[in-house]
Amino acid sequence: MNKIDVIRLIFKQPTAHYRVGFTQQNLHRTLPLPPPSTIIGMIHNLMECENGEIIKGFDIAICGNYESVFYQYQLFRNICPKSEVKSAYKEVHPGSPMPNQVQLLNNVYLRIYLTFDDFEKDAPLFIEKIKNPSIPFFIGRREDLAILENIEIMPDTLKQSEFPQKLELNYWAAEQEVQKYKVNGPVYLLGTYYRIEDKIRNFERRRFYYIEPQPLNPVKIGNRYKDPEGWIDEDHIDGELKEIPVFFLGINQQLPTNRSIK
């Protein structure tokens, strides 16, 4: 039976906002889960990378849920020249605060899985860093504090097995996973790594699917239909032992990187 070594992180956030790029100026929408770039950035912050450094040699899986969505007004400062932006009453001068609606997730539950190319070397170092962080945990904005509920090194724990009959969490999934398991969900163009070009973050973007709880139907293999198989984690959720599918995103398969964890 195939197995894989992982680190499992469980976070809770009272509120969270994972900004959708290119949304309207006065309405800041949120993604339903933190995008890969946010988790990659958190890992780089924990490893105290210098500006422009890129860590290679790991992959991630992201799943979870939230209780509800609500909206909050926040004041953002306008930095446009006054000739470009006008309010209903007067010209808005640079630096003037403007109210914006921000979409927030309430009571967020996140499960993040990390696997490393060199697990024996890199996993203990990551555990040491995350147990003694130099900065508070936040996922999303700086004000979106994240409470680390559980962290566990799990050698040979994820196993290849039949999936349960239904997904019970929300997932990001790579395109090949969606095609393989015949699950449905909207596609998002999400950032992963970035390079700084002319003082601007230029993100490498890929298509990822947002998969909500849904039945898992048998898939056709050759001339037969068979229950889908993949990586499974067994863990307690709300006091009940569950079989939890894990979809790794394959972030190592894209942007060349310039250093390993060390």
Query: Which letter, b or e, does each residue of 135-167 get, where b requires 16 or more Cβ atoms within 10 Å of its Cβ?
Result: eebbbbbeebbbeeeeeeebeebbeebebbeeb
Domains in the chain (CATH in brackets) are: 3-79+94-254 (3.30.70.2660)
Q: What is the pLDDT along the chain (262 residues), one digit of tens a residue?
A: 478 899 999 999 999 999 997 766 778 899 999 999 999 988 888 887 777 677 888 999 999 999 999 999 888 776 655 545 455 444 444 556 778 899 999 999 999 999 999 898 888 888 988 888 777 888 998 889 999 999 988 877 788 999 999 999 999 999 999 988 889 999 999 999 888 778 777 888 899 999 999 999 888 777 788 888 899 999 988 888 999 999 999 987 643 334 344 4
Strand extents, DSSP E, the chain: 3-16, 27-28, 55-56, 58-77, 97-116, 147-162, 170-174, 187-197, 200-211, 219-221, 224-226, 229-237, 240-245, 259-260
CA distances from 174 to 133, 186, 262 (A): 30, 12, 28
pLDDT at 18: 96
* Residue spans of alpha helices (H) in the chain: 36-46, 119-131, 175-181
- What is the predicted pLDDT for the residue at 89? 41
Amino acid identity at 29: R
Amino acid 260: pLDDT: 41
Q: Residue 164 carries which DSSP code? A: P
Q: Cβ(3)–Cβ(157) under 8 Å?
A: yes
